């Protein structure tokens, strides 16, 4: 699983770098701060950083949604177990009483 995450991050970095290069070359997209133009490579690095942060946020949202679904399924399973136990507790209690009364009692041999 860890290998897949590393591969996903590397693919995201390559894609963002490629898209940053395309944005600066084809779309003539430039970043400027305080009326100073930023160099193209710095612009690409900044765009790559922004997209990498968005990818990390996407991973967090995806894992949190997965965790929420897993938590809901586990909570539903525990709820069903408690509901079934609450329905059948008289039968279970009656069976335990009969078992305790009928079982063979062994005495310790010294």
For the chain, give every domain's residue range: 2-102
DSSP H helices, 1-110, are 2-25, 40-102
Residue 93 tokens read as 């209690």
pLDDT at 54 over 70: yes
Query: Residue 32 forms beta bridges with which residues?
Result: 37
In 3D space, the residue among 73, 21, 11 whose CA is nearest the CA of residue 45 turns out to be 21
Instruction: Dump pLDDT digits (tens) for 9-46.
Output: 777 777 766 766 666 666 666 666 677 776 666 766 77
* pLDDT for the residue numbered 28: 64
Of all helices (H) and strands (E), which one includes residue 37? strand 36-37
DSSP for residue 33: E
* pLDDT for the residue numbered 8: 75
Share of the chain above pLDDT 70, in %: 72
């Amino acid at each position: 699983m860890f290998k897949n995450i590393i591969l996903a991050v590397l693919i995201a970095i390559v894609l963002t770098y490629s898209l940053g290069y395309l944005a600066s070359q084809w779309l003539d997209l430039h970043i400027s701060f305080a009326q100073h133009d930023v160099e193209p490579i710095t612009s690409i690095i900044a765009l790559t950083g922004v997209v990498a942060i968005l990818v990390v946020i996407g991973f967090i949202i995806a894992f949190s949604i997965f965790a929420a679904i897993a938590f809901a399924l586990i909570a539903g399973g525990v709820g069903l177990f408690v509901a079934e136990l609450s329905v059948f507790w008289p039968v279970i209690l009656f069976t335990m009483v009969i078992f305790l009364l009928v079982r063979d009692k062994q005495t310790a041999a010294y």
